[in-house]
Amino acid sequence: MKTIKGPAVFLAQFLGDTEPFNSLESIARYMADLGYKGIQIPTWDPRMIDLKQAAESTTYCDELKGKLNEIGVEITELSTHLQGQLVAVHPAYGSMFDGFGPAELAGKPKEQQAWAVQQLKWAAKASQNLGLTSHVTFSGALLWPFVYPWPQRPAGLVTTAFQELGNRWKPILDAFDEAGVNVGYELHPGEDLHDGITFETFLDYVDGHPRAGINYDPSHFLLQQLDYLQFIDFYHDRIFAFHVKDAEFNPTGKQGVYGGYQGWVERAGRFRSLGDGQVDFSGIFSKLSQYDYDGWAVLEWECAIKHPEQGAAEGAPFIESHIIRVTERAFDDFAGTGADEDFNKKLLGL
């Protein structure tokens, strides 16, 4: 077995326009002071990283790593969640996602998609230049408006959508394969890849691509009422990254999973700061350790109630307390007989 690395933190939700949240070095120092050993970098913010330069210059990457090492943190993964979203967008959501790409491409879905694909390919090369082995992103969605089967979905609609999604992602996955980097899709509502079944379907349309994997985030599964512990039993060999995020689900006689169009505070299902929700992290860390997950445990902080600075301060010790230093020997070795094959046969009467 292997020991999970951490604690680490995804920087996206903490970025701002004031110190220490407005530059990579200052926010990295802030997180290091809280006890974080790793940072997951959102690549859409130029204050954090110049993605194109990172893809083209090993010198730039070496200098970036050096600065962070002096601060006391290392990069866990690069994130292209916003760019990945634009790889596949249903027209119903086009204008709502315009802000995820360059302003000059707003209202131009084909140009946005081409931009997003280039961003992902740069992320593959940048990850390689930084010495990273995993990457995190979203799949995008063509089918999300049809997630509930009413009106009845036309025959072949799901097949056509996943075939197109696979066609769009296959060249990107090949680029990551050339770079020696795994892709962890965050299985998330609003994405065509949002649970185990949709992930399996996607794998069928990318020919079981070895780089196509999962950024495991139990909060999204709890809100879907999916068994997030058994999920690990099913898909542990495809879990390439881990977002440590809490959530709670408190249905009433008035609302359930769909939330009644309520805001985050009023919903039955809502994200919470670590330790304030219902996710069984002891069970999760045990299962991931059992299955030899040796990647990073990365806090993704999202909470409708608690201040992010309090969430960040509480997150590092929470993760640290859940990381299991795996054993190198069996607990009952003291009682071992040191038997050999001849002794075994004798015991069996052979």
- Cβ-count burial 201-232 (b if 16+ within 10 Å, e if not): bbbebbeebebbbbbbbbbbbbbeebebeebb
H-helix segments, the chain = 24-34, 51-56, 58-71, 81-85, 109-129, 157-179, 196-205, 218-224, 228-235, 281-290, 308-322, 341-347
Report how far residue 230's alpha carbon sits from residue 280's, in angstroms, rounded to the nearest whole number. 12
115 contacts: CB under 8 Å, gap ≥ 6: 83, 86, 101, 102, 105
Please write the tens of the pLDDT for every residue from 148-202: 999 999 999 999 999 999 999 999 999 999 999 999 999 999 999 999 999 999 9
- pLDDT band, residue 35 (cuts 50/70/90): very high
| Structure confidence at residue 327 (pLDDT) | 81
Please write the tens of the pLDDT for every residue from 85-116: 999 999 999 999 999 999 999 999 999 999 99
SS3 letters for 5-70?
Answer: EEEEEECHHHCCCCCCCCCHHHHHHHHHHHCCCEEEEECCCCCCCCHHHHHHCHHHHHHHHHHHHH
Please write the tens of the pLDDT for every residue from 3-24: 999 999 999 999 999 999 999 9
Report how far residue 170's alpha carbon sits from residue 203's, in angstroms, rounded to the nearest whole number. 10
Tell me the residue type at 258: Y
Among residues 118, 117, 115, 121, the alpha carbon closest in space to that of 135 is found at 121
Please write the tens of the pLDDT for every residue from 285-344: 999 999 999 999 999 999 999 999 999 999 999 999 999 998 877 766 666 777 788 888
Q: Mean per-residue pLDDT for 54-64?
A: 98
Report how far residue 177's alpha carbon sits from residue 166's, in angstroms, rounded to the nearest whole number. 15
| Structure confidence at residue 347 (pLDDT) | 85
Q: Mean per-residue pLDDT for 46-50?
A: 98
Q: What is the DSSP letter of 143?
A: S
| Structure confidence at residue 317 (pLDDT) | 98
Q: Which domains does the chain have, with CATH numbers?
A: 5-347 (3.20.20.150)
Cβ atoms 308, 14 nearer than 8 A: yes
| Structure confidence at residue 20 (pLDDT) | 97
| Structure confidence at residue 336 (pLDDT) | 76
Please write the tens of the pLDDT for every residue from 228-266: 999 999 999 999 999 999 999 999 999 999 999 999 999
Q: Mean per-residue pLDDT for 66-82?
A: 98
Cβ atoms 61, 118 nearer than 8 A: no
